[in-house]
Structure 1
């Protein structure tokens, strides 16, 4: 790191409150009150909160047209804010991937800026990793996690610790059968559908020997299995040291299932890849979610049924 950058770091850790910007890179935010509530709650934790000027724009199902959202992304990167938190996901970042100034985003992370979000943000986080090995954070978003009726305590505590640089590991319980597993590699992943959508594009990180975490929402188990098989057949699953599945929620069962369930999908994937596939990570489109550094070097250790991912 150059002397200039280390000086910036010293400057960032002064007594002033940490600045946090809420911006909308993807789906439209239907109620402004939700974002204002999120801003108020985050401010109560001592953040100096800014709502980006384009955060409440509406264009079809998007938070502003492509141009406005691209400008917002670059504006936030240049703003010098400490934390850039997406207001919500939805769909929209895929439209921008070929036009994003990844060098600008990388420079912001070099200055200590933390980009946080999940869902549609997965494609942004993985593209940042693919282009410049920039580290970002899979974690909560403004509207869903901080703008609702209540804030999940685990989600909040994890996020605050991660942003202060204090969070060094997360622990959870998994199924029996993985005792003694101990692997190291780059931690990466996010929303399964989003990860798969990057295959064959320049925005897909080429991670070998990594720890891949995945989650999804509104996807039937057979669609989850098909996406996992797509990753497997593309060589991605076998190239990892471990695959960690988060929460797969809000799907409807079909009369055609006849006993086929999410468990069946996971069992099938385990039968085709040589990489251990663990379940139980508290992450996904659910109130309780951990904050994970995407692109950080990590270690995954299993003792009995207890898993620890440390970085």
Structure 2
């Protein structure tokens, strides 16, 4: 308990010191320079710990996630906390944070997969033991609400984390393929190819159209995730610094006016204007038909992003969609907006 109090004191002090360094609205907190840490690569037979740091997961969904991982050749482990229900959360903030901390501390766990997203990760960021995480580096992967977790951990510890499938979305050949390539087969250069859309519901949907917003090429470290979470972290000690970064964004079931509002807020952040590139995934459920009193998703994105003059593209294969490639937070990549291509320039695991 004393260790936890000590940790919370240091976290509070760090947060206060960080805020004092802010010189104005929209300046990302300046964290001390931390050495980057690449987690150990994943191997067949490894044990993957399942956590639910946000919403509760239904028993049948948990069972299917475990079954998928077993078919992929992994062992699984989870605590009883993942089965709980505390309102819409899987457990209390303290217990959800404890689950994450213990998974990192447990030497029998080789990697950590978030069973699902939802909401709740921002509530536990100041309860995580970043010293334990930094001292026991291992793969952490998830998306959606997990955006907060993976970006905060990278910022505070230097540990490369991964924006990729959660347990409930892993049963997809494309998603599994890129998860294996990034986490199990490290290469110095890895081209990431967009999924070939075979489902008419996808290739006929405007939300899956791939288009260049602003032409150009760029290189930088990858950061980002769910637009809603990226924006929610603005003004907090966990705000993302976008300077010289390749920023990837996606969201789900947000009407064009809500996308407009969030993108407008982002464009008022100094560091976002210094990003090297902007990469949108598929924003499923975010488009609407053009009417006299409405804009389409594409119109909103072009209006908000094109004037920045930063190489940008929409429609890459990640997001709340079946085909979800794995993006490593903190790893350098090359981006060609004109050709809609992304290439990792270094191995993400050791």
TM-score normalised according to structure 2 size: 0.77
Q: Is residue 2:221 matched to residue 1:186?
A: yes
Paired position in structure 1 for 2:174: 154
Residue by residue, what CA displacement relative to the aligned partner does 1:7-54 show, whole Å, maximum 9, x if unpaired?
x96xx88x872111111111011x212211211221122111112331
Residue by residue, what CA displacement relative to the aligned partner does 1:80-127 show, whole Å, maximum 9, x if unpaired?
322100111111111111221122222222xxx100000110001111
Q: Quick check: 1:123–1:198 contact (8 Å CA) kept in 2?
A: yes
Paired position in structure 2 for 1:119: 144
Paired position in structure 2 for 1:284: 319
Equivalent residue pairs, number: 292
TM-score normalised according to structure 1 size: 0.86
Q: Structure 1, unaligned stretches of length 5 or more? A: none
The partner residue of 2:100 within 64, 73, 77 is: 73
Please state how far the C-alpha of 1:254 moved relative to its aligned partner.
8.0
Paired position in structure 2 for 1:42: 69
Please state how far the C-alpha of 1:306 moved relative to its aligned partner.
4.0
Q: Is residue 2:339 matched to residue 1:305?
A: yes
CA change 1:101–1:228 in 2 (3 A) is same
Paired position in structure 2 for 1:175: 211
d(CA) in 1 for partners of 2:213, 2:339: 8
Runs of 4+ in 1 over 3 A off after TM superposition: 176-179, 251-259
Q: Quick check: 2:243–2:275 contact (8 Å CA) kept in 1?
A: yes
Map 1:1-311 onto structure 2 (within 5 A). Answer: 17-29=45-57, 31-80=58-107, 81-109=109-137, 113-143=138-168, 145-146=169-170, 151-166=171-186, 168-172=190-194, 174-176=210-212, 181-251=216-286, 253=288, 258=293, 260-302=295-337, 305-311=339-345
CA change 1:279–1:21 in 2 (3 A) is same
Please state how far the C-alpha of 1:277 moved relative to its aligned partner.
2.1
Q: Which of the two has greater strand per residue?
A: 1
